[in-house]
Chain A
Amino acid sequence: MDQLAVVLISGISSGAVYGLIGLSMVIIYRATDVFNFATAAFGIFAVYIAIAFMGLGVGLMMAAALGAAIVALGGVAVHATIIRPLGSGQMFGALVVTMGLSLVLESIAGDVWGQQPKSFPPLIEGNFRIGDAGLANQQLLNIAIAGVAMVLVSLLFTRTHIGTAMRATAESAVAAKVIGINSGRVARIAWALGCLLAGVAAVLYSSRAGVTPTVLTAALFRAMAGIFLGGLTSMSGAVLGGLAIGVLDNVAASYVSASFRDTFVFGVVIVMLLVRPQGLFGQRSFQRV
């Protein structure tokens, strides 16, 4: 029983990080129609920047916050200089651009901070025990942060003017413009928010796995699986999908095979998409042919 509890909580904790990465991608996708493949690379920059601030004597929490904030500004800059000039309706073009951007950012990170792994301390120290098994307090913090982020983003999108504007832009950028919504401002906010969340996710992930320029790649793919499981258009779906992936991954590793954990997880996602192509919480879209 202790083992099951540890496996589940640890899976939810990993899934919380996948969920935050997924949330980052869905926010940008919904507001700007861009599937940001460079999410992981943005996040890693936040961690490296945080480490640099810590080297200057800045405290851990402040350094992490500064790292995430600077990456948020970086996201705005990238949108303005690289994504926006592509024009609207260039979803595949933008996808390729963000793929390239991801490689460039990873390469820059490697050149600036080196390829050697660096450790990153947990935001909160200490462990707690469930019977004979141990869990790190940081794992609970991951879950809490993902939950808070999901609630705040949901509130932003449903209870605020800017959220309404973002949803309207996602439905139809042209119609939104007609009713006076500044789509450029919406896109900037979406990129800033998305990259901020990517930074937060990377900080949480790195406290367990350390940081290298490509350390978040595996998490990115799991986050994408979570997005499609939860529904590409759903904020809560992205987080819940990520959580489900984390739990499935750990349950498969414990009770099926540690070697086939990915096979199991992605097998479930494929079956899910066959049964419900729009994901668990996504909305089905129809297009005229």
Chain B
Amino acid sequence: MRKSVLPALTATALFALAGCAISPASGSGSSDAAIKIGAWVTTSGPVAVSGVPQSAATAAYFKMVNANGGCNGHQIDWITKDNAYDPQQTLQVARSLVQQEGVVAIVGAYGTATSEAAFSYVLDQSKVPVINTAGGASSWYTPPRKNLFGVETLYEDQGAALGAWAAEEGAKKILVVHSDPDAFVNVAKNVEPSAVTVNPGVSVETLPVKYHSTDYSPVVQQVKQKAPDAVVLILSPEEAAAYLKEAKLQGIAPNAYGYAPEASTATLTLAGDAAEGFHTLSLVKAPNGSAPELVEYRDAMAKYAPEQPIDFVTATGFARAKAFCEVVKTIEGDVTSESISKAFETAAAVKTGMLPELAFSSDTHIGTRQVQKLVVKGGSFTEVGDFYTPPARKQ
């Protein structure tokens, strides 16, 4: 009995080892019929608040494209798995997508820290490109990393845009209220240099706040004491809403500016009329606009994700998928991991009608630095001018 089991076990082990040795990227050729791509998304836990609508909107775009004949004739098979916003789970999901599902690219994945946890395996070891992630940091693109491409204006650039915007509107004393994790601190750091670029006489102070604080009365009391001309909020939408409500209660007058994550339905829902006049940034055009691309987005959301809101969060998720498809359309021949990366490196003037016009090169793997300015008027976000390019960052 023992003799008969051992050879079988040995054969199984050898077979498994052989399977592990096959590079997933080497087998990444995609048929003409379908392009198999995947993503780790966050559909459970506290971060699902934004993870669910983003992935629903990305899925809505791919469903719409598939219903209309596919992306350049290719059906898109977008496979998603929940990572619960956990880096460890993200790595497991990445292995599953690459090894078991055989995806040729990770597209529209969710999260900065979570995605970073999988980069070594996906980008370096498996040579599978990671495209248009929701999130990102300047370190992802400086220097450009092979197989990694993004379409979202970096948070650091958003910080620079906010500093410049407040200074352009005449603020001489700016207070940056930010959550304390590094992801928020890095954004906050970029407010001062750009504000000073616009007006060297501007002073900028920061006020770090514990992440996920709900009682903002002590924070607002400190803001009141410091008496700034403008307050820049680098907070989650829920925290920004808590700040705005408390600021209104305390009669605080200065303009408040927020970065793109705060341009969400959650901010308006929770802050109510306290959000009136709130300045924010967006990565995309206002989703209630009349441009044909925005009409297409709203129609697709109504058909494929009717339970999700029409807002900046879903519009960005939709636009991310669209940008991927627009670049894939330029690929002649098989759509593989290699051809996707090559197509992105040479993609120029990529138009989605929602994001700013995108351009990539071998030196620039982030497609844009532009943002859309918004102000809350009458309970909704309204655009201020066209896409805006912030001053160049010094750090």
Give residues in A with beta carbon < 8 Å to B. Answer: 3, 6-7, 10-11, 14, 107, 110, 114-119, 127, 132-136, 208-210, 212, 214-215, 217-219, 246, 249-251, 253-254, 257-262
**A66 CB, nearest partner CB in chain B, Å:** 23
Mark B248-263 against chain A: 1 for CB-CB distance below 8 A, else 0.
0111000000000000
Contact B221–A254 (Cβ < 8 Å): yes
B270 within 8 A of A: yes
Interface: B213 (CB within 8 A): yes
Q: Ordered nearest first, which 10 A-B pairs have the shortest CB separation?
A: A253-B218, A10-B217, A254-B218, A259-B208, A210-B270, A259-B180, A258-B209, A134-B249, A214-B46, A115-B48
The complex places the Cα of A262 from the Cα of B249 at a distance, in Å, of 24
A-B contact pairs, 13 of them (CB 8 A): A6-B250, A10-B215, A115-B49, A115-B52, A117-B270, A127-B249, A210-B269, A210-B270, A212-B46, A250-B217, A258-B219, A258-B222, A259-B208
B49 and A249: CB pair below 8 A?
no
B169: interface (CB < 8 Å): no
Q: Is there a chain A Cβ closer than 8 Å to B53's Cβ?
A: yes
Chain A nearest CB, measured from B172 CB (Å) = 23
| B233 within 8 A of partner (CB) | no
Residues of chain B within 8 A (CB-CB) of A217 are: 46
Q: Give CA–CA (A258, B266) in the complex, Å.
A: 23
When distances are taken between beta carbons in the complex, the residues of chain B under 8 Å from A107 are 44
Given A110-B48, A115-B48, A117-B49, A258 and B242 contact (CB-CB distance below 8 Å): no
Interface residues of B (CB under 8 A from A): 44-46, 48-49, 51-53, 180, 207-210, 212-215, 217-219, 221-222, 224-225, 237-238, 241-242, 245, 249-251, 265-266, 269-270, 272, 307, 309
B45 / chain A contacts, CB cutoff of 8 Å: 214
Please report the C-alpha to C-alpha distance between residue A218 and residue B241 in the assembled complex, in whole angstroms: 17
List the A side residues contacting B309 at CB < 8 Å: 116
Give the complex CA separation of A262 and B180 in angstroms. Answer: 12
Separation of A254 and B217 alpha carbons in the complex (Å)? 9
B51 proximity list for chain A (CB < 8 A): 115
Whether A218 touches B214, Cβ cut-off 8 Å, given contacts A3-B225, A258-B222, is yes
Separation of A258 and B269 alpha carbons in the complex (Å): 25
6 more CB-based (< 8 A) A-B contacts, given A209-B270, A210-B270, A258-B222: A7-B218, A14-B215, A114-B52, A118-B269, A134-B249, A258-B207
- Residue numbers in A under 8 Å from B270 (CB-CB): 117, 119, 209-210
CB distance from B196 to the nearest CB of A (A): 24
Complex interface: chain B residues within 8 A of A134 (CB):
249-251
B207/A119 in contact, CB under 8 A: no
Q: Collect the chain B residues with CB atoms within 8 Å of residue A212's CB.
A: 46, 49, 238
Interface of B is mostly: helix
B269 touches A117 (CB 8 A): yes
**Min CB distance, B245 to chain A, in Å?**
8
Nearest-Cβ distance from residue B215 to partner chain A, whole angstroms: 5
With A116-B266, A134-B249 as given contacts, are A253 and B219 in contact (CB-CB < 8 Å)?
A: yes
Contact B207 A208 (CB under 8 A): no
- Of B207, B209, B219, B270, the most chain A CB neighbours within 10 A belong to B270
Residues of A within 8 A of B221 (CB): 3, 6-7, 133, 254
Q: Do residues A253 and B210 form an inter-chain contact, with CB atoms below 8 A?
A: yes
With A115-B49, A116-B266, A116-B309 as contacts: A218 and B212 at CB distance below 8 Å: yes
- Specify which of A7, A210, A219 lies most central, judged by the most chain B CB atoms within 10 Å of its CB: A210
Contact among A110, A116, A254, A260 for B222, CB-based, below 8 A: A254
CB B263 to nearest CB in A, in angstroms, measures 14
Q: Judging by beta carbons under 8 Å apart, are B269 and A209 in contact? A: no
Q: How far is the CA of A127 from the CA of B246 in the complex (A)?
A: 11
Bound form: Cα–Cα A259–B177 in Å: 11
B28 to chain A, nearest CB (A): 33
Which residues does chain A contribute within 8 Å of B46, judged by CB atoms? 212, 214, 217
CB distance from A138 to the nearest CB of B (A): 11
Please give me the residue from chain A that is nearest to B215 by CB atom.
Answer: A14
- Minimum CB–CB distance from B267 to chain A (whole Å) comes to 9
Return chain B residues, CB-CB under 8 Å to A136: 249
CA distance A90 to B222 in the complex (A): 48
Residues of A close to B210: CB separation below 8 A: 253, 258-262
CA distance A110 to B245 in the complex (A): 25
List B contacts of A133 (CB < 8 A).
Answer: 221, 250
Q: Smallest Cβ distance from A255 to chain B, in angstroms?
A: 8
Q: Enumerate chain B residues within 8 angstroms of A259, measured Cβ to Cβ.
A: 180, 208-210
Beta-carbon contact of B238 and A209 below 8 Å = yes
**A218→B180 CA distance, assembly (Å):** 16
Contact for A119 among B48, B214, B222, B269, CB less than 8 A: B269
Q: How many Å from the CB of A254 to the closest CB on chain B?
A: 4
Contact between chains at B53 and A116 (CB < 8 Å): yes
Bound state CA distance, A261 and B210, in angstroms?
7
